Amino acid sequence: MPALANQHPAVELWRFRHVLASLTARELRIRYKQSFLGVGWAICVPMSMMLVFTFVFTRAVKLEQGMQLDMPYALFAYAGLLPWTFFASGLNGCVNSLVANRNLVTKVYFPREVLPLSAIGSSFVDFCVATSVLVVLIFYFHVFGDWTFKPSAAILFLPVIVGVQTIMMGGLGMLLAMGNLFYRDVRQIFSVVIQLWMFATNVVYPLRTDDGWVGRLVSINPMTPIIDAYRSCLFDGRLPVGSPFLFATVFAVVVLVVGWTCFHRAGFLFAERI
């Protein structure tokens, strides 16, 4: 064990990749155990939110024309809600990942990074399942609507966007898991922050970066260029805008390095603080 503990964290994590896979599968089993819909809930959550926002912005408030969208609003909303649901559910799972696995942390040796990463892994499975609805929506509006889907080579860039988002989630997830272990208020605070964060991101409506303090807030929000990148590659047939997406990529890498370093260095305190 001491020899393993002295290895580089990335090498050590790779050696315990089977533990990561097992814990990810366990997260999914626990989440959908004795559930009538099972993994179908991965589809219901973003789908129901899309239906609510579509009603609000196209029927109750009538903002669709003011948004100047070049696609059906339902498609615009779902393309934002899909990665955002992955982001929010993954980080929500990370926050409590150490506290919820008290016995594993105190009695079993393995890289503790596995716990928040398994929460992200299970949310990624849900993300992949929910993507099927996006495919159905694209087909529906292309065939039965006035909108035309024009696939392009830019779609091949989507795995890079997912990778950048996942890297950022990994760093934030480790910081949140560690913070909640030391200060249990973190979980409650984050549940509020993640709701506010959604409305400071272009998830269900486009946001301008040149609109005073709101624009400045949007411009430093790394999730905005990431969600823009999904829509650009899928619907506009072009790669994401260079500077904003580059900022999000650099931010994701920095957060991962900081989160992993802090998490690894504080690991020896986890058992006594839990």
195 vs 10, more confident: 195
Quote the tokens at residue 89: 């559910």
Q: What is the pLDDT of residue 63?
A: 55
> What is the pTM assigned to this prediction?
0.90
Indicate whether 23 pLDDT > 80. Answer: yes
- Residues 122, 24: contact at Cβ < 8 Å? yes
12 vs 247, more confident: 247
- Residues 90, 146: contact at Cβ < 8 Å? no
Long-range contacts of 185-191 (CB under 8 A, 24+ apart): 186/95, 187/95, 187/96, 190/91, 190/92, 190/95, 191/92
Confidence category of residue 164, pLDDT binned at 50, 70, 90 = very high
Q: What is the pLDDT of residue 75?
A: 94
Q: pLDDT per residue over 30-53, tens digit each? A: 888 777 667 777 888 899 999 998
Mean residue pLDDT across the chain: 88
DSSP code of residue 96 = T
Q: What is the pLDDT of residue 247?
A: 94
Q: What is the pLDDT of residue 211?
A: 64
Q: pLDDT per residue over 52-76, tens digit each? A: 988 888 776 665 444 567 889 999 9
Q: pLDDT per residue over 165-196, tens digit each? A: 999 999 999 999 999 999 999 999 999 999 99
Q: pLDDT per residue over 207-265, tens digit each? A: 776 666 666 777 789 999 999 999 999 999 999 978 899 999 999 999 999 999 999 88
Cα 62 to Cα 2: distance, rounded to the nearest angstrom: 63
Longest dimension (CA), the chain: 64
Q: What is the pLDDT of residue 134?
A: 95
Indicate whether 2 pLDDT > 60. Answer: no
Cα 23 to Cα 18: distance, rounded to the nearest angstrom: 9
209 vs 132, more confident: 132
Q: What is the pLDDT of residue 157?
A: 96
User: 3-state DSSP call for residue 266?
Assistant: coil
- Residues 16, 118: contact at Cβ < 8 Å? no
Domain boundaries, the chain: 2-273
Find all residues with CB under 8 Å of 137, minimum gap 6, and list them. Answer: 74, 75, 78
Confidence category of residue 1, pLDDT binned at 50, 70, 90 = very low
Cα 198 to Cα 235: distance, rounded to the nearest angstrom: 22
Of the candidates 115, 50, 102, which has an alpha carbon nearest to the alpha carbon of residue 76? Answer: 50
Cα 225 to Cα 202: distance, rounded to the nearest angstrom: 9
Q: What is the pLDDT of residue 209?
A: 64
User: 3-state DSSP call for residue 274?
Assistant: coil
- Residues 205, 67: contact at Cβ < 8 Å? yes
